């Protein structure tokens, strides 16, 4: 493949060109209620050529590996059509790497029967937890994606051009339950994802039991009154918070061509409390957002986004890094062969603080413990994220279960309203993903210690 890609790149006349060819094998099995809902398998091959001339980009996607040279020419033609300025791409050492998957137990060697048996057992637990469980949704899916990439970085001779092959496996298991009483329906979910071993989806019986019990209990849980509240976010939800509230804002493609955004997100600006440190790190092994090389051929590394409450860095592609005078750290990612890479997060997390968890709770007379995530969305400075469930905190003690907790805010106000960061930390390995510019779901991870925030607005009547 390497020779085939380099050979095709000989046709390039643009300032820069890259070819990414991918194959993807996927198996998915699902229960819904008492029955198997679906059993599917897919096998796709395809790719994308991207070229840049005078700062303009041409993108050509294809499903057949025939005529790769013509695709390179076509991408160059598209780029020439739109380019009006100067091509600026960060200088990165050319890579020449093969990164095979590091699977302790390869899911491709596990039979369909065994996979179905595993989720069938979880489904039985969910169905048996409570008579109020009306339906379930238990899904197992595995994907084995192989990426071959070559670019013209480094020069016109193949010996110094960039090439990598990376295998990106992923298996997920999602456990969901729907409880019903009359016309009131409540749902509860949890999930795991792994790029290390099929065994990670085993042993989730306790998780299944909790999911089922929670769905039934939420039927009688009160809603939270709307308005400002003191909240403690558990590590999963705090991870969603930092992903939504600050991670997206750190993506340099939102910043680099808008002077006002560059000023707003200038390195050195105080953005949060002094105890706050935030990182993105695709090189952390074994997490959802972990990868060796991004989809522009840049090896992944750690970026400090906030250090001691002060904005310390951004996430970059080759282009944004060049235009902002920064070094890229492997954040140009594409969800599949159909898409060009854009600036994305990998594994984003708040670093541990100094406060014991018990002290964090002791400081709350009347507040809400917000747990797990339903999802999150941002419009840069404004964000919303939903807890899957929560509990009332009264005089430092955790009390009754609560439902429908959606938190909303302005990132700049909220990061300054954090008044406690605990000394624990957990990085979630969930099945979901991040969405941006129509590319969803991209595997990412996020995490945090427990954190306490004052005056967060929760929506409600």
Residue closer to other proteins by CB (options 113, 274) is 113
Binding other proteins by CB under 8 A: which of 406, 425, 430, 445?
Answer: 406
Binding other proteins by CB under 8 A: which of 3, 10, 13, 41?
Answer: 41
Task: Name every residue whose Cβ is closer than 8 Å to that of residue 325 and which is 6 or more positions away in sequence.
Answer: none
Binding other proteins by CB under 8 A: which of 1, 46, 106, 209?
Answer: 46
- Using the contact rule CB under 8 A, the part of the chain among 10-18, 51-59, 145-153, 196-204 near other proteins is 51-59
CA distances from 243 to 35, 345, 460 (A): 36, 8, 24
As given in the structure block, the two tokens for residue 114 are: 């065994």
Which positions from 12 to 31 touch other proteins by CB under 8 A, shown as an x/- string?
Answer: -----------------x--
| Cβ pair 58, 87 in contact under 8 A | no
Binding other proteins by CB under 8 A: which of 227, 285, 435, 441?
Answer: 227
- Using the contact rule CB under 8 A, the part of the chain among 1-9, 294-302, 363-371, 380-388 near other proteins is 380-388
Residue closer to other proteins by CB (options 50, 292) is 50
| Cβ pair 329, 316 in contact under 8 A | yes
Task: Establish if 426 lies at the interface with other proteins (CB under 8 A).
Answer: no
Per CB under 8 A, contacts with other proteins among 104-133 are 112-113, 116
Query: Among candidates 283, 289, 273, which has minimal Cα distance to 446?
Result: 289
- Exposure string over 119-130, b if 16+ CB within 10 A, otherwise e: beebbbbbbebb
Binding other proteins by CB under 8 A: which of 203, 226, 285, 435?
Answer: 226
301 strand-pairing partners? none
Task: Establish if 87 lies at the interface with other proteins (CB under 8 A).
Answer: no
How near is the Cβ of 372 to other proteins at its closest, in Å? 12
Count CB atoms within 10 A of the CB of residue 30: 20
Per CB under 8 A, contacts with other proteins among 270-329 are none
- Using the contact rule CB under 8 A, the part of the chain among 142-150, 344-352, 360-368, 384-392 near other proteins is 384-392
How near is the Cβ of 27 to other proteins at its closest, in Å? 8
How near is the Cβ of 43 to other proteins at its closest, in Å? 4
3-state secondary structure of 146: strand
- Using the contact rule CB under 8 A, the part of the chain among 6-14, 138-146, 231-239, 408-416 near other proteins is 408-416
Task: Name every residue whose Cβ is closer than 8 Å to that of residue 418 and which is 6 or more positions away in sequence.
Answer: 272, 273, 275, 276, 451, 452, 453
Binding other proteins by CB under 8 A: which of 3, 100, 354, 377?
Answer: 377
Query: Among candidates 309, 339, 311, 340, which has minimal Cα distance to 324?
Result: 311
Per CB under 8 A, contacts with other proteins among 180-219 are 180, 183-187
- Using the contact rule CB under 8 A, the part of the chain among 203-211, 304-312, 376-384, 442-450 near other proteins is 376-384
| Binding footprint of other proteins, residue count (CB under 8 A) | 80
- Using the contact rule CB under 8 A, the part of the chain among 37-45, 274-282, 347-355, 444-452 near other proteins is 37-45
Residue closer to other proteins by CB (options 213, 301) is 213
Which positions from 437 to 456 touch other proteins by CB under 8 A, shown as an x/- string?
Answer: ------------------x-
Query: Among candidates 181, 192, 177, which has minimal Cα distance to 125?
Result: 177
Residue closer to other proteins by CB (options 74, 281) is 74
Query: Among candidates 461, 460, 456, which has minimal Cα distance to 228?
Result: 456
Task: Name every residue whose Cβ is closer than 8 Å to that of residue 167 and which is 6 or more positions away in sequence.
Answer: 99, 100, 101, 144, 145, 146, 147
Task: Name every residue whose Cβ is closer than 8 Å to that of residue 339 and which is 6 or more positions away in sequence.
Answer: 48, 438, 439
Task: Establish if 81 lies at the interface with other proteins (CB under 8 A).
Answer: yes
Residue closer to other proteins by CB (options 31, 164) is 31
Binding other proteins by CB under 8 A: which of 162, 250, 290, 378?
Answer: 378
Alpha carbons within 13 A on the beta-carbon side of 302: 11
Location of structure tokens 């624990």: 424
Binding other proteins by CB under 8 A: which of 3, 13, 38, 400?
Answer: 38
Binding other proteins by CB under 8 A: which of 1, 121, 264, 310?
Answer: 264
Per CB under 8 A, contacts with other proteins among 140-159 are none
Long-range CB contact pairs, 438-441, < 8 A, 24+:
438/339, 439/334, 439/335, 439/339, 439/342, 439/344, 440/335, 441/335
Q: What DSSP letter does each residue of 245-257 carry, written as one string?
A: IIIGGGBGGGTTT
Residue closer to other proteins by CB (options 63, 397) is 63
| Cβ pair 122, 205 in contact under 8 A | yes
- Using the contact rule CB under 8 A, the part of the chain among 98-106, 309-317, 409-417, 445-453 near other proteins is 409-417
Cis amide leading into 185 (omega within 30) = no
């Amino acid at each position: 493949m390497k020779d085939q890609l380099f050979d095709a790149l000989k046709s390039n006349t643009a300032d820069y060109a890259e070819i990414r060819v991918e194959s993807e094998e996927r198996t998915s099995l699902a229960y819904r209620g008492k029955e198997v809902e679906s059993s599917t398998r897919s096998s796709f091959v395809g790719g994308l050529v991207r070229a840049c001339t005078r700062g303009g980009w041409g993108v050509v996607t294809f499903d057949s590996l025939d005529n790769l040279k013509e695709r390179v020419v076509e991408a160059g033609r598209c780029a020439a059509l739109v380019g009006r300025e100067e091509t600026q791409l960060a200088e990165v050492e050319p890579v020449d790497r093969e990164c095979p998957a590091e699977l302790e137990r390869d899911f491709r060697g596990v039979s369909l029967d065994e996979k179905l048996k595993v989720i069938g057992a979880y489904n039985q637990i969910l169905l048996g937890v409570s008579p109020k469980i009306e339906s379930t949704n238990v899904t197992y899916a595995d994907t084995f994606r192989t990426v071959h990439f070559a670019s013209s970085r480094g020069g016109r001779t193949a010996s110094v051009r960039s090439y990598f092959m990376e295998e990106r496996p992923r298996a997920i298991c999602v456990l969901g339950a729907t409880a019903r009483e009359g016309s009131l329906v409540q749902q509860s979910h949890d999930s795991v994802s792994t790029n290390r071993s099929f065994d990670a989806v085993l042993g989730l019986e306790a998780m299944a039991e909790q999911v089922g019990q929670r769905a039934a209990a939420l039927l009688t849980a009160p809603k939270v009154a709307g308005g400002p509240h003191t909240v403690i976010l558990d590590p999963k939800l705090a991870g969603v918070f930092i992903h939504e509230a600050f991670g997206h804002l750190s993506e340099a493609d939102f910043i680099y061509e808008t002077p006002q955004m560059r000023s707003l997100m200038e390195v050195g600006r105080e953005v949060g409390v002094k105890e706050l440190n935030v990182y993105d790190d695709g090189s952390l092994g074994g997490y959802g957002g972990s990868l060796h090389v991004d989809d522009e051929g840049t090896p992944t590394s750690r970026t400090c986004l906030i250090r001691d409450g002060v904005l310390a860095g951004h996430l970059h592609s080759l282009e944004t890094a060049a235009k902002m005078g920064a070094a890229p750290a492997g954040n140009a990612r594409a969800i599949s062969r159909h898409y060009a890479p854009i600036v994305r997060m990998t594994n984003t997390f708040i670093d541990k603080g100094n406060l014991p968890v018990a002290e964090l709770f002791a400081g709350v007379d009347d507040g809400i413990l917000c747990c797990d995530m339903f999802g999150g969305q941002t419009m840069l400075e404004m964000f919303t994220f939903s807890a899957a469930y929560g509990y009332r905190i009264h005089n430092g003690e955790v009390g009754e279960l609560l439902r429908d907790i959606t938190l909303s805010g302005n990132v700049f106000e909220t990061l300054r309203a954090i008044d406690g960061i605990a000394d624990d930390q957990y990085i979630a390995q969930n099945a979901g993903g991040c969405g941006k510019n129509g590319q969803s779901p991209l595997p990412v991870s996020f995490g945090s210690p427990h954190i306490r925030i004052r005056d967060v607005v929760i929506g409600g009547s």
